[in-house]
Amino acid sequence: MEDLEGRTVVITGAASGIGRAFAEAFRSDGAEVVGCDIDEAGLSALAEHGIHTCVADVSDDAAVRGVIDLALERTGRVDVLFNNAGMGNRTAVEDLAPGEFEQMLAVHLFGCVYGMRAAIPVMREQGHGRIVNVISRAAERPAGNNAAYGAAKAGIWVVSRSAAAETAGSGILVNMLFPGMTNTGIWGRDM
């Protein structure tokens, strides 16, 4: 990675897996990192690395705005938003419990939208910013027992493309990260 001294990176889902790896990497490259998650124990371990942490549920718009506000309070800027928070789901469509599909959309898709909605105005004012939205190959390669997760990730693909078009020429870049199946723990024993 490039030298990130003086830059601020906000990462959702920072307590474990991909989010934790990126939080530690950004911090080791000199960035001030603000990591949020619902996993307090995982966040405590991150704080030992000099990472600012806060407990926040990304399915709550006000909580996500609070994370961006915390970054501004602590560092005065938001240079990178890394939307990573997520959860796994391996349920057939006919077996989805009431609210299960909605929860998947709330965490993955709405959380991503809430983050961009809070960060883009800050980045516009700064004249630059980078947004990375973690997607999945499930967005483009549907599989059985993966409808809720795949639909949420496909939604992120659409809003990412839209946000990229809306911010073109503003100094803000919106990108998507499509990791393959990664042993992060969200899939339980499926790996």
Tens-place pLDDT, residues 96-123:
999 999 999 999 999 999 999 999 999 9
Distances (CA, A) of 181 to 47, 106, 159, 185, 187: 27, 21, 22, 11, 9
Contact 86, 127 (CB under 8 A): no
Q: Does 114 qualify as catalytic in the annotation?
A: no
pTM of structure: 0.93
Using DSSP's 3-state secondary structure scheme, residue 6 falls into: coil
The single-letter DSSP state of residue 106 is: I
Query: Between these two residues, 142 and 184, which has the higher pLDDT value?
Result: 142
Residue 155 has a CB neighbour count (10 Å cut-off) of 19
How many other C-beta atoms can be found within 10 angstroms of the C-beta atom of residue 161? 12
CATH number of the structural domain 8-181: 3.40.50.720
Choose, from 22, 26, 110, 149, the residue flagged as catalytic: 149
Summarised one tens digit per residue, pLDDT across range 54-94 is: 999 999 999 999 999 999 999 999 999 999 999 988 899 99
Residue the block writes with tokens 């609210």: 99
Q: Tell the residue number behind the tokens 């501004």, with chain if given.
A: 72
